[in-house]
Chain A
Amino acid sequence: MEIVRREKAGSPESLRIRRQRAQELLRGPELEGAALEKYVTERVMTTTLDRALNWARANSMFPATFGLACCAIEMMAIVASRVDSARIGSEAFRATPRQADLMIISGRVSIKMAPIVRRVYDQMLEPKWAIAMGACSSSMGVFNNYAIVPADKFMPVDVHVPGCPPRPEALMHGIFKLRKKIMEDPDEGWRRRYEAIGTEEIVRRDDIDPLTDSEVGTGDGRDQAVNVFKPGDTAGA
């Protein structure tokens, strides 16, 4: 951040500066290259069709009414007046999957229900997105037992919203993250944002395949992630 020292008006020096600043306001600063492009895209509407379509899709997602359990109550709460989902474009919760493009899996998915969730998801038309709302649909939640299955196991999920049940505001936060993802500007995972890739604590040596415990590691990128720190590398992680 640059610090601008400003003298009181009167001196010819400050007049020149003031005139230059006024010109900048009117005509724009002298920019080149990537900075100029960024300046233009911030101030001018998107020009490519893709980005226009993404903008339209992201701002008018119609969720499918797919309430399963307790999270469905909080999902209905975002339709209600305190946290109004209509103001972000999700005015109509469509009952038929043919007309919906967002599926909020709100609640625990039992093994009897999983094929039905998958079938309803398949009936949705492209482009479609899925939010796994709550702990039960993302992982197993409070109940790690024989009867339920996490949504990741049978369908692709774009955004996971944690909570049991997540507050309506948390679900809205998840919908905003999905919106950013649709507009091709995804919020990066925390590891990339904080440059923390490579800081995982390792439990195994990299010449042992972690999935089958056999002696042969394949040596490609996936195995590298298992043992990133060589001896002497640790910076106290």
Chain B
Amino acid sequence: MATETRHLDRTTTLEPTERIEQHGDLAPEQELLTLNMGPHHPATHGVLRLLTTLEGEVVRDIKPIIGYVHTGIEKTAEDKSYWKAIPVVERMDYLSYYFNAMAFCGAVETLLGLEVPKRAQYLRVIHLELNRIASHLIFVATGGLDLGAVSMFWYGWRERDMILDLFEQTSGQRMHTRYIQVGGVAEDVPRGWEQNLRKFIKAMPERNQQYRALLAKNEIALSRLKGVCPLDADELLKYGVTGPLLRAAGNPWDLRKAMPYSSYEDFDFKIPVGTEGDNWDRFAVRLAEIDESVKIIEQAIDGLPEGPHIADDRKVVLPPRHELATSMEALIHHFKLVTEGYRVPPGEVYYPIEGPRGEYGCFVRSDGSSKPARVHMRDPSFVNLQAFAPMVKGAYIADVIATLAMLDPILGGIDR
């Protein structure tokens, strides 16, 4: 079956305003229609408003308008002590909550100069990669839903429920678990979690193969995704795009390999890279990343070292509960930490990690008190959204929906 690359409609190279200047007016079939998509729309991934200027069915201009779920998280985080700011910061990008917490805790640990024990780093890596798989599964599910492949929706959520069961076992919550704490992780993993994790590791690659088989040879999916809305790597870099979008365009930049943090250098995994940068590559790169993440989790759980699950510094980390009954210092530390919180020496730091959508950087400024003076999350969806307009200029409106699905924006991270 021949699926040819569809060329974008670049027959008119002039902008509409230039055409009006030259020809005085637009012909009826060239008239521009301003269409407002959203903020309440079934296909936008959250409350994104797209002001689209259409000529027929071809998009001439698109302006994303955001701010419909702006929650002032950064301002709220300035009001809370560092420990209490973790749940608040987690709720920014609501599909990759572990990454938000990791970026924030990494920044605070850098400011404190705190060393995270090896076991805690491995546990963090396992949970981060599980969250990456969950986020990519929702991408696959909602992407399929937007294209019309509704059955992907059911399968994606089935796996995601398995992952959330694992999260629930370690932390008690399915989403926004506040499991990653400053100094390590909140609790060690319970008995039986490793067996469940291994069951999941065994099941996931086969399921991923099934998803690939479901869509990779589907004529409709291919014609909607292959060759549609490509953007080359240089353009993407100009717009500050990182993550799977950049890797789909051919640039293998991944912070886990380039500037490893939290023991990522101990693991052996590959970076899936696309060739053309069109929608199909963006989709395939994320599917392949699920497989790589499963490999990382397997290596991490096989090599999980013994040791403490959180740092030892009692000035920063809560003492274990059994000590509260016997040791007076532990009680005092616990009291001080819970009521006032620990003080962080003054400084500013920017801590970047590689999340499912690109580079998450958390900027924390501390002024020596127990509350952060400024928390800012460099959210990748916010920056990637700027590349959306160049991607869809000249494409059909149906491609706008497909490209938006493949862009994988999360409005919670965009609006914060």
Contacts and interface: CB of A to CB of B under 8 A. Distances in A.
Nearest to A64: B40
Contacts of A67: 46
Contacts of B69: 68-69, 107-108, 110, 113
Given A68-B69, A80-B153, A142 B158 contact: no
A214 B73 CA distance: 37
A80 B158 contact: yes
Interface in B260-301: none
A15 interface: no
A100 B69 CA distance: 23
B40 A146 contact: no
Nearest to B154: A81
Contacts of B79: 145
Contacts of A136: 71
Interface stretch (B87-95, B235-243, B339-347): B87-95
Contact of A108 (B42, B71, B138): B71
A181 to B, nearest CB: 25
B46 A110 contact: no
B176 A77 contact: no
Interface residues of B, number: 34
Given A77-B161, A120-B40, A165-B176, A147 B72 contact: yes
A68 B157 contact: no
Interface residues of A, number: 34
Contacts of A74: 174-175
B412 interface: yes
A146 B75 contact: yes
A183 interface: no
A11 to B, nearest CB: 58
A143 B176 contact: no
A155 B312 CA distance: 50
A164 interface: yes
Interface centre among A79, A107, A142, A146 (most CB of B within 10 A): A142
A114 to B, nearest CB: 10
Contacts of B95: 73
B68 A116 contact: yes
Contacts of A165: 174-176
Interface in A82-106: 82, 95
B76 interface: yes
B89 to A, nearest CB: 11
B72 A145 contact: yes
A136 B91 CA distance: 11
Contacts of A164: 176
Given A120-B40, A142-B91, A110 B158 contact: no
B376 to A, nearest CB: 16
A70 interface: yes
Contact of B70 (A65, A70, A76, A147): A147
A49 B39 CA distance: 39
What are the 9 A-B residue pairs with the smallest beta carbon separation, nearest first?
A80-B157, A70-B94, A147-B72, A95-B42, A113-B68, A145-B72, A110-B70, A143-B76, A82-B161
17 contacts: A67-B46, A69-B91, A69-B411, A69-B412, A70-B176, A70-B412, A77-B161, A80-B153, A81-B157, A82-B157, A82-B158, A108-B71, A113-B39, A113-B69, A116-B39, A143-B73, A164-B176
